[in-house]
Copies of this chain bind each other. A is one copy, B any other.
Amino acid sequence: MFDDPERMTIDELDTPSVLIDLDIMEHNITEMQSRCDGLGVAFRPHVKTHKIPEIARMQLDAGAVGIAAQKVTEAEVFAADGIDNILIPYNIVGPRKTARLLDLAIYNRVTVSADSEATVRGLSEATAPKGMPLRVMVELESDQKRAGASVERAITLAQKIEADEHLFFAGLLIYPSMPSIRPLLQEVLTRLDGHGIGVDVVSGGGIGAAMHMAEVPEISEIRVGTYVFNDWRTVADGNAGFADCAMMVRCTVVSKPDEGRVILDGGSKTFSSETLNDLYGYIVEYPDARLYRLNEEHGYVDVSACDARPNVGDIVHVIPVHACVVTNLHNMIFGHREGVVEKEWPVAARGCVW
Contacts and interface: CB of A to CB of B under 8 A. Distances in A.
Interface residues of A, number: 62
A189 B351 CA distance: 46
A258 B149 CA distance: 9
Contacts of A94: 14-15, 252, 313
A159 interface: no
Interface stretch (A21-29, A214-222, A261-269): A261-269
A106 interface: no
Interface in A297-354: 297-298, 300, 311-313, 324-325, 328-331, 350-351, 353-354
B297 A90 contact: yes
A14 B266 contact: no
A329 B328 contact: yes
A104 interface: no
Interface in A102-129: 115-116, 118-119, 122
Count identical subunits in the complex. Answer: 2
Contacts of A325: 268-269, 273, 296
B257 A295 contact: no
B353 A16 contact: yes
Interface stretch (A140-148, A178-186, A195-203): A140-148
A328 B324 CA distance: 16
Contacts of A353: 16, 265-266, 269-270, 297, 329-330
Contacts of A145: 257, 261, 300
A117 to B, nearest CB: 8
B93 A254 contact: yes
Contacts of A256: 116
B91 A312 contact: yes
Contacts of A290: none
Interface string A22-57: 000000000000000000000000001000000000
